[in-house]
Structure 1
């Protein structure tokens, strides 16, 4: 296929002509229309791709079967962070005696969820308005491929029918969904996925969470701060697989302080009704006949063992797009699949499954289609866990840098030495910078502590721009701020930190 700017008999001469010729053929119960770019899925990858394509003067059609903004805005990133913030407010007020504040706030869970839903509605309606303002054609329905250059769009509701859309390029942005495990169907009322847990309008007295990854740990913190007795079952021997122990340690300690119980080395095998609630039976992950199972009683159970791509609903065989054994669509640095005119962005395109990575891929896909020299560099994509305290990383870890052949210079600054952290009462954690010892280039960073999600942006920029330790250390940071900790960590790596002992 050709990209925008080429001239063939198959591409309409101007955007105006394309729009006028949108409705080309009508048969009984079916309409066929044409578009330059069809985007399937209106999550952070899809709607960003559609808007950018519109900005580049492409005729673009965005197909969404549920709600604009996708899982992130409606059932994931935004609602979870809203509840994290709300529960933090209540928890901090309840535990501020050291500051001379004595309070015992009452929590109206239905009111809290209503506030969260208001935030979501504001953002999703904003997405729709932005799409329309950028001349994106919006279609509600479920899209499946019908050939190399056609998709079928089925509209929900009785008598709504379907239509066929001819396209020059397609961008798949169908996202991901929670993984079910055997014997724990999300159709069963006591069994929750993360979406259902975020919609609860009453606080459960007790909760078993299966999985200690970032979703499980974030929601464990939320419910513990609401007063729920939380038990986390994890088949591995620690929380947050993939993160270094020094980052996880403050999070695990805070979880213990909140009263969260952990059962490591166990898998959830089944559940059944018991008394007024349920009983979850957990079995050792490496089970032998001598091993004993655990009986965990609770009001409900949340399964948070990960997410899987939504690629099985698209009939990808019709267009020839390949997936890996897990269902992820394979792409290159330009978001292309194995079919040149079909692109994939966001969770459906594989790890890391992060909304901001999907948005970056969406922009790249739109620009490549428009003939721009765009590509995605994964080295400066940050990752954040909104636990208490927060964790944020970008670039290489110390071990990854050494494995890549670098001689490393490492600097660290503890928040307990930060004047601003002390004034907030939140001093757990540190900023850590990894650099190339020879040239001083910043290779990566990790933060655990207050506002880690915000502080990581400066270090992501440092990695992206190829900044050096000297660049970061010589940048004057306002005082008193948490951001000074970034400067101090860089100075520590150079051996001349002022407010902490040099390594």
Structure 2
């Protein structure tokens, strides 16, 4: 295979990598991107997209069951629904394939060369790519490391057999009758909720004192209540110690209740993700580390000239949209533009039921850094659109600086609330004050009105509460 020389080499075709490569190609840079799996990375192939597809399918099935049992809207009846999970998985795979093809087409349109294989650094300008067809040397003026992350494996519960990662959960041909989820973060609660709606008996085991420990208690309460409605057992302050007995029960030690065994057909381990900093020749480079992550500056440059890093490998928040923004920026920097990564806020979303959105500072985090704040909180119980949707659980909360009412953060929990994340983030990015949000006419009846009402409450001018 012939050697390749290029202006920009991107290692990893996940959200950050492929966005970087596409933007570089658009800017006229001779660009090569390398990955040993289909474009899209974890997010598209085995993470964000397929999980949301299965979550939606489970929601639809559960709604049909509710209608059949006459528990949804009085006056509506339906027959008992059937669930062919293998067909649902096939539908999910079709979405993934369609998006894979779309990314590949965009790379080709931008004149980016896609090389299939695993990259290994030889030095700061050269990598060796190994694939089934042989090896190929690529030399580049600039290199972007976008290797992403992988699930954390517990020593007591190594992946294999009945112990599965989120990737394994997304490939099951049928919902397990009994599912134990070790780790009550967003991935565990999202998938646990989906399988509970699909008919699984679900138990969530979380070592912290509450599930979704990165979110404040007010946001978690509606999710916890919904899990109880769905029959999901939640054990907090509990540690999983491995499998025991002939049946391979999950052995758990809880702060309250002591030791117990949980029978499960599958044990889903979702205790976090770790950056992929090994396996691509990092030892051949001189890179500074920030804990387990690669250290970068506000242009995503590493300690080596011409070597950049983006996405999960560079630290928290390990989110696809952060990686995408970094990738676009680096492409423009390599093309000669002046850019730096300095977002006011990056939205974080839990696709639980109800959904959670958190952007910017919470009341607790603002007070922790000594900021005097005012808040406004509007419940969906007073929102007409939420009532007509049959889901009035949750609220929108706005956090603003007391002195000038600058919006510092927005948190919300509610059905479908993820779609408001862009409005919340835009308000913070544009430096909006409570008066700006309150002075913006919001369409009626919509859930978005809760944002307006929360801002008005923060100003002491609430109308509908």
Partners of 2:182 and 2:206 within 8 A in 1: yes
Q: Indicate which of 135, 143, 159 corresponds to 1:162.
A: 135
8 Å CA contact retained: 1:279, 1:296:
yes
Contact 1:347/1:354 (CA < 8 Å) preserved in 2? yes
Specify the alignment match of 2:389 in structure 1. 424
Higher mean C-alpha displacement, 201-210 vs 261-270: 261-270
Q: Supply the distance in 2 between the matched residues of 1:165 and 1:265 (Cα, whole angstroms).
A: 50
Q: What is the match of residue 113 of structure 1?
A: 89
| Structure 1 range deviating more: 95-104 or 350-359 | 95-104
Of 148, 172, 175 in structure 1, the residue corresponding to residue 148 of structure 2 is 175
Is 1:91 matched up with 2:91?
A: no
Secondary structure of the 1:488 match is helix
Residue of structure 1 equivalent to 2:106: 130
Q: 1:89 Cα deviation (Å)?
A: 1.0
Which ranges of structure 1 fall in alignment gaps of 5 or more residues?
1-29
Give distance in 2, aligned partners of 1:195 and 1:259.
24
Residue in 2 that maps onto 1:464: 429
**1:283 equivalent in alignment to 2:253:** yes
After TM superposition, the structure 1 = structure 2 runs for residues 12-51 of structure 1, keeping only pairs within 5 Å, are 31-51=2-22
- 1:130 shift after superposition: 0.2
Superposed counterparts of 1:238-257, under 5 Å: 238-257=210-229
Q: Alpha carbons of 1:273 and 1:62: their partners in 2 closer, same or farther (altered >3 Å)?
A: farther
State the alpha-carbon separation in 1 of the partners of residues 317 and 373 from structure 2. 25
Structure 1 residue aligned with 2:410: 445
* Matched-pair contact (CA < 8 Å) for 1:284–1:293: yes
Does the Cα contact within 8 Å between 1:431 and 1:485 map onto a contact in 2? Answer: yes
Instruction: Flag as ranges the 4+ runs of structure 1 deviating above 4 A.
Output: none
Residue aligned with 1:391, SS:
strand
Distance 1:148 1:330 in 2: 16
1:272 is displaced (CA, Å) by 4.2
Aligned equivalent of 1:21: none
Given that 1:330 and 1:349 are in contact with CA atoms closer than 8 Å, whether structure 2 keeps it comes out as yes
Distance, in Å, in 2 between the alignment partners of 1:340 and 1:405 is 38
Find the residue that maps to 1:366 and give its secondary structure: helix
Q: Following superposition of structure 1 onto structure 2, how do residues 364-379 of structure 1 map, counting pairs within 5 Å?
A: 364-379=329-344
Which residue does 2:167 correspond to in 1? 195
2:124·2:304 contact (CA, 8 Å) conserved in 1?
Answer: no
TM-score by length of 1: 0.89
User: What count of residue pairs does the alignment treat as equivalent?
Assistant: 460
> SS of the counterpart of 1:81?
helix
**Preserved CA contact (<8 Å) 1:184 1:191:** yes
Output aligned runs, 1:45-444, within 5 Å. Answer: 45-96=16-67, 97=70, 98-99=72-73, 100-103=75-78, 104-155=80-131, 157=132, 160-186=133-159, 188-272=160-244, 274-275=246-247, 278-284=248-254, 292-326=258-292, 328-444=293-409
Question: Alpha-carbon deviation of 1:365?
Answer: 1.1
Across the aligned residues of Structure 1 and Structure 2, the Cα RMSD in angstroms comes to: 1.4
2-structure distance, mates of 1:458, 1:442: 12
Give the structure-2-normalised TM-score. Answer: 0.96
Alpha-carbon separation, structure 2, partners of 1:292 and 1:466? 50
CA contact (8 A) 1:409 1:436 kept: yes
**Residue pair 1:192, 1:303 contacting (<8 A) in 2 also:** yes
Corresponding residue of 1:7: none
Q: Alpha-carbon deviations, 1:287-344, whole Å to 9, x = none?
A: xxxx942111111111000011111011112121233342x11112211111131111
Q: Distance in 1 between matches of 2:246 and 2:354?
A: 35
Q: Give 1:6's aligned residue.
A: none
* In 1: Cα distance, 2:258 partner to 2:395 partner: 40
Q: Gaps spanning 5+ residues in structure 2: where?
A: none
Q: How far, CA to CA, are the matches of 2:279 and 2:234 in structure 1?
A: 36
> Is residue 124–residue 307 contact of structure 2 (8 Å, CA) maintained in 1?
no
Q: Is the CA contact (8 Å cut-off) linking 1:182 and 1:269 kept in structure 2?
A: no
Q: CA offset at residue 102 of structure 1?
A: 2.5
- Please give the secondary structure, in 2, of the residue aligned with 1:293: strand
Tell me, what secondary structure is at the counterpart of 1:298? Answer: coil
Larger radius of gyration: 1
Alpha-carbon distance in structure 2 between the residues aligned to 1:330 and 1:76: 25
